Amino acid sequence: MSLRIVAVAAMDAAKLEAEVSSELGRVAPSRSLGSVDGLVALEWHLPGDEDEAARLRARLIDKGHPVDTAVLPADSGRKRLLISDMDSTIIGQECLDELADFAGLKAEVSAITERAMRGELDFEGALTTRVAMLKGLGLDALEQAYSERITLNPGARTLVETMKADGAETVLVSGGFTYFTSRVAAAAGFHTHRGNTLIDDGKTLTGEVGRPILGREAKLSALDEFAAARGIGRGDVIAMGDGANDLAMIKASGLGIAYHAKPVVAAEAHAAIEHTDLRAALFFQGYEAKEFVS
């Protein structure tokens, strides 16, 4: 078995090569994947098995280099399906937390969100508790929260559009709400989206969530459903997220990426993005910078 190591960083190529090669036994990179907006990506090929891959991942992370790395089987390449979380992954915010700010409850709701994303609370229970706290909030707060607070994370649209141009399907799947997933999916360019539903009475939120609730297992089911529809296996899927409810789909996919993730997620992912942006997910698949679609 051979391994493919991809390193991405906001530094010049010579420095990146020196920092990573020092952890790989002074082996020179096999190729450069190019640079874009100050991000540089290099690729190495080394002999090794799954155990060696795990050791390399730990070594590269433990050294504290400001470098995002993926250690993958050498035959791991471009994926045919992108399935991604929304909150704190494709966008820089937690929509429910921002919505709660309009009810004067952001601190209380955010505290529950943080614990749920760390896996300390049951996702469904945490979701229904937070939504119940917003009972009576006017529907105009939804538009305010989206238009005033929600922003795409750097590289989000480039990731989606580049994979689409290469023939991949792109799906946004979220434990958040369809009011936001529909708008974020359109802004980032996703083919389709899934999320939970906020119940309202025509003027205000009722404090209820539509059933069934989309959580951890539903995200995994969505991965399998969309993969089957395209006639591909889990190995042809890239899945990304930051919270505990993303872990099942991240572990099941051929390339599972933890994006600025909670420790429980980062420990189980194939790769992590902590220092650069979402375009690293393209480099991890072997795309060259010159192929990126803005």
The model's pLDDT over 240-268, given as tens digits with 9 standing for 90+, comes to 999 999 999 999 999 999 999 988 899 89
Residue 112 pLDDT greater than 90, yes or no: yes
- Identify whether 122 is a catalytic site residue: no
Instruction: Indicate the pLDDT class of residue 3, thresholds 50, 70 and 90.
Output: very high
What domains are there in the chain, each with its CATH number? 1-76 (3.30.70.260), 78-93+152-294 (3.40.50.1000)
Give 91's Cβ-side CA count (13 Å radius): 28
Q: Which residue has the higher pLDDT, 32 or 26?
A: 32
What's this model's pTM, rounded to 2 decimal places? 0.96
Instruction: Indicate the pLDDT class of residue 63, thresholds 50, 70 and 90.
Output: low
Q: Which amino acid is at 148?
A: E
Least confident of 11-25, 150-164, 270-284: 11-25
Kindly list the distances between the CA atom of residue 206 and the CA atoms of 133, 198, 278, in Å, as whole numbers in the listed order. 10, 8, 36
Q: What is the pLDDT of residues 162-189, one digit of tens each?
A: 999 999 999 999 999 999 999 999 999 9
- Identify whether 242 is a catalytic site residue: no
Considering the candidates 12, 68, 75, 85, report the single residue annotated as catalytic. 85
Instruction: Indicate the pLDDT class of residue 269, thresholds 50, 70 and 90.
Output: very high
Pairwise CA distance, residues 113 & 93, whole Å: 11
Considering the candidates 37, 68, 75, 87, report the single residue annotated as catalytic. 87
